[in-house]
Amino acid sequence: MPPEDPMTTKIYPGPVSSSSVPDIKHDDAGAQFVLESKGKWYHAGYHLTTAIVGPTILALPYVFRGLGWGLGFFCLTVMGLVTFYAYYLMSLVLDYCERNGRRHIRFRELAADVLVVSVHNDGDSGVYCTLPAAILSLSQIHQLGFIGSEFGLYRLSATSKKAPPRDYSLDSSKAVSIFNAFNSISIIAAIFGNGILPEIQATLAPPATGKMFKGLLMCYSVIFVTFYAVAFSGYYVFGNKSTSNILKSFLPDSGPALAPDWVLAIAVIFILLQLFAIGLVYSQVAFEIMEKKSADTTQGMFSMRNLIPRIILRTSYMVLCGFLAAMLPFFGDISSVVGAIGFIPLDFILPMLLYNMTHKPSKKSTVYLVNIAIIIIFTGAGLLGAVSSLRKLILDAKQFKLFSNSIVD
């Protein structure tokens, strides 16, 4: 008997094994040219690390400013464990669908399938500008993933003698402290957020089972070192004077810089390199959408017919994103809003929901109860985080200036 789709009762011809890969439509240029399935488990580790460990971790000392030492480390640890678990569940859901003859390489398709909802939007898009991104596919850029790793960024906070007096007290108003806490939780969600996990898994050579788990272990090993180092050292030095971009704390509005110029220059170079790598990873989702409509699959990926439109469309997209990013000075506020409204539903709720719907564990089983508990807790955290982050954004809007060099905290 052919396997039956438990969600849509659609019959797929022939048996489907865990090592087989259902054919991608021949006219789907986005899948053929951008999401090539050639990678190994460590390529997934590179992509996952690049997608998560980015310059947003420079906001971690600011997160601790709103939570304090104890709650800060607690939330950072718990949310790290939850996202590791959530991404592993998501990889299992993708494997489950593939074994049933439905290989999904996009979040929107996976959700549409499992939730039996017709999704018509074009999905997520990346936000950073890079030059090689105008040509390369996701499976071709794994070598660049670690170029901008954060080695040396957290060294900035070591022991600056010019640092301000250390004060770790929270806001005296209890109501403001609560708002700040949920604002910080939303920023942590944005820092751990990953909106391209299906695309990353799609770059792996079949079968993908087990490779994503190894990639996650590799990724979270880097996360353990970088996240805690930046959070501890930055908050230790600057306390409640920490800004949403810790580098800004080294450049006070009045007085000299709190670190040597050459050290700051190295930090900026590392950040640019990491943005370079992140752009290559995250922008591929938008490129896949564009090339699905613009490319001709009957001709080669680097044929003039496909290469010229690719360069024009990708370059235009990156210029627009860079323009918008330079225009908005709300580094922490934007991260908080995106975390509360975007990444908490996507990465802290949806994976558990999809797993329960596809694998159907017993309602009395530990995994089912843990998933429901996570869904309930982070639904509440997301709602409160959305209120807190929007409140903070509205308050800070009074200081807003287009293309300002100053970061609004």
pLDDT (0 to 100) of residue 247: 80
- Residue 199 in tokens: 């695309």
Give the C-alpha separation, 87 to 78, whole Å: 14
CB atoms within 10 A of CB 168: 14
Give the C-alpha separation, 368 to 347, whole Å: 17
Q: Give the pLDDT mean for 5-34.
A: 43
Does the pLDDT at position 200 exceed 50? yes
Q: Give the pLDDT mean for 189-211.
A: 84
**Residue 108 contacts by C-beta under 8 Å, 6 or more apart in sequence?**
119, 121, 122, 123
pLDDT (0 to 100) of residue 291: 77
Residue predicted with more confidence, 292 or 125: 292
Q: Give the pLDDT mean for 290-304.
A: 75
Give the C-alpha separation, 173 to 283, whole Å: 41
Lowest mean pLDDT segment, chosen from 31-35, 97-101, 325-329: 31-35
Does the pLDDT at position 20 exceed 50? no
Give the C-alpha separation, 193 to 79, whole Å: 10
pLDDT tens sequence across 109-134: 777 777 653 333 333 333 333 344 34
pLDDT above 70 covers a percentage of the chain that reads: 75
Does the pLDDT at position 68 exceed 80? yes
Q: Which residues pair with 204 in a beta bridge?
A: 39
Determine the angle formed by the axes of helices 41-52 and 261-294, rounding to 10 degrees: 120
pLDDT tens sequence across 136-172: 444 444 434 333 334 444 454 444 556 677 889 998 8
Q: Give the pLDDT mean for 192-208.
A: 83
Give the C-alpha separation, 125 to 284, whole Å: 8
Does the pLDDT at position 334 exceed 90? no
Residue type, 96: Y
pLDDT (0 to 100) of residue 404: 67
Q: Give the pLDDT mean for 192-210.
A: 82
pLDDT (0 to 100) of residue 101: 76
Residue predicted with more confidence, 406 or 103: 103
Lowest mean pLDDT segment, chosen from 12-16, 73-77, 188-192, 366-370: 12-16
Residue predicted with more confidence, 50 or 16: 50
322 band by pLDDT with thresholds 50, 70 and 90: confident
Q: Which residues pair with 208 in a beta bridge?
A: none
| Whether this model's pTM surpasses 0.85 | no
Spatial contact of 39 and 142, defined as CB atoms under 8 Å apart: yes
Spatial contact of 18 and 12, defined as CB atoms under 8 Å apart: no
Give the C-alpha separation, 271 to 56, whole Å: 10
Residue predicted with more confidence, 159 or 387: 387
Using H for helix, E for strand and C for coil, what is the string for the chain? CCCECCCCCCECCCCCCCCCCCCCCCCCHHHHHCCCCCECHHHHHHHHHHHHCCHHHHHHHHHHHHHHHHHHHHHHHHHHHHHHHHHHHHHHHHHHHHHCCCCCCCHHHHHHHHCCCCCCCCCCCCCCCCCHHHCCCHHHCHHHCCCCCCCCCHHHHCCCCCCCCCCCCCCCCHHHHHHHHHHHHHHHHHHHCCCCHHHHHHCECCCCCCHHHHHHHHHHHHHHHHHHHHHHHHHHHHHHHCCCCHHHHCCCCCCCCCCCHHHHHHHHHHHHHHHHHHHHHHHHHHHHHHHHHHCCCCCCCCCHHHHHHHHHHHHHHHHHHHHHHHHCCCHHHHHHHHHHHHHHHHHHHHHHHHHHHHHCCCCCCHHHHHHHHHHHHHHHHHHHHHHHHHHHHHHHHHHCCCCCCCCCC
Spatial contact of 183 and 388, defined as CB atoms under 8 Å apart: yes
pLDDT tens sequence across 355-376: 999 899 999 999 999 999 999 9
**Nearest alpha carbon to residue 185 among 381, 347, 333, 342:** 381
Does the pLDDT at position 56 exceed 60? yes
pLDDT tens sequence across 336-357: 998 999 999 999 999 999 999 9
- Site of tokens 């936000």: 127
Q: Which residues pair with 39 in a beta bridge?
A: 204
Q: Which domains does the chain have, with CATH numbers?
A: 45-399 (1.20.1740)
pLDDT tens sequence across 236-276: 888 888 888 888 888 777 777 777 777 778 878 877 777 77
pLDDT (0 to 100) of residue 123: 36
32 band by pLDDT with thresholds 50, 70 and 90: low
pLDDT (0 to 100) of residue 299: 76
- The pLDDT mean for the chain works out to 76
Give the C-alpha separation, 65 to 290, whole Å: 41
How distant is the alpha carbon of residue 230 from its chain centre?
A: 18
Indicate the length of the chain as a whole number. Answer: 409
Does the pLDDT at position 35 exceed 70? no
pLDDT (0 to 100) of residue 287: 78
